[in-house]
């Protein structure tokens, strides 16, 4: 009887503990309360390498007025959809990073595989945004 009790108690403890320890959810970077926008590490690495330099709040030039990765995570609805779809367009057409820029920095060009990762992520994000509204 005592053994049974100890067994139950430890089982309960384990259940309770596992309920309170944060579950192993996939890491969400840039996620904001109120929107489920998320950029997985695989995508973030590509963006950081090939895009972020020109498209952040502190960048020089007017690229940040068209797309700003520091602001993307706080966008939602049609504005977020528009930004993501615009990215897809630029990527599909090989318009970004700008060709002139790539002459001096060929290592920043997107590979076919990187393009695919970005495009699949964009598609999934857009589907998510539409399904949430």
Partner 1 sequence: MKKRNRKLWRYLFGTLIVLFVVIQFIPVHKPKVIKDNPNDFLLNTKMPAHVASMFQESCYDCHSNQTKYPWYARIAPSSWLLASDVTEGRAHVNFSNWTKMSKAQQIAALSDIASEVKSGDMPFWAYPIMHPKARMSKADRKELVDWAQKYQNEIFYSK
Binding of partner 1 by 86 (CB under 8 A): yes
91 is in the binding site of which of partner 1, ligand HEC, none (Cβ under 5 to 8 A by kind)? Answer: ligand HEC
Binding of ligand HEC by 110 (CB under 6 A): yes
Computed on alpha carbons and rounded to an integer, the radius of gyration of the chain in Å comes to 21
| 7, 77, 78, 98: which one binds ligand HEC (CB under 6 A) | 98
State the Cα–Cα distance between residues 40 and 30, nearest whole angstrom: 9
Distance of CA 66 to the CA centre of its chain: 18
Which residue, 95, 89, 75, is CA-closest to 122? 89
Binding of partner 1 by 79 (CB under 8 A): yes
Smallest separation (angstroms) from ligand HEC to the CB of 14: 46
Interactions with ligand HEC, residue window 44-83 (CB under 6 A): 50-51, 53-55, 61-63, 66-67
State the Cα–Cα distance between residues 31 and 40, nearest whole angstrom: 10
Site map (CB under 8 A) of partner 1, residues 89-108, x = contact: x---x---------------
126 is in the binding site of which of ligand HEC, partner 1, none (Cβ under 5 to 8 A by kind)? Answer: partner 1
**Could you check whether the bond before residue 97 is cis, i.e. omega within 30 degrees of 0?**
yes
State the Cα–Cα distance between residues 35 and 30, nearest whole angstrom: 10
């Amino acid at each position: 009887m005592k053994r049974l009790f100890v067994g139950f108690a430890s089982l309960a403890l384990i259940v309770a503990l596992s309920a309170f320890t944060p579950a192993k959810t996939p890491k969400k970077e840039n996620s904001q309360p109120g929107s489920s926008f998320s950029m997985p590490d695989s995508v973030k690495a590509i963006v950081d390498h090939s895009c972020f330099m020109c498209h952040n709040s502190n960048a020089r030039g007017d690229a940040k007025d068209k797309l700003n990765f520091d602001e993307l995570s706080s966008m939602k609805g049609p504005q977020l959809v528009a930004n993501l779809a615009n990215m897809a367009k630029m990527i599909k057409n090989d318009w970004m990073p700008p060709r002139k820029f790539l002459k001096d920095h060929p290592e920043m060009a997107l590979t076919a595989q990187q393009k695919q990762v970005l495009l699949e992520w964009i598609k999934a994000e857009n589907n998510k945004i539409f399904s949430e509204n």
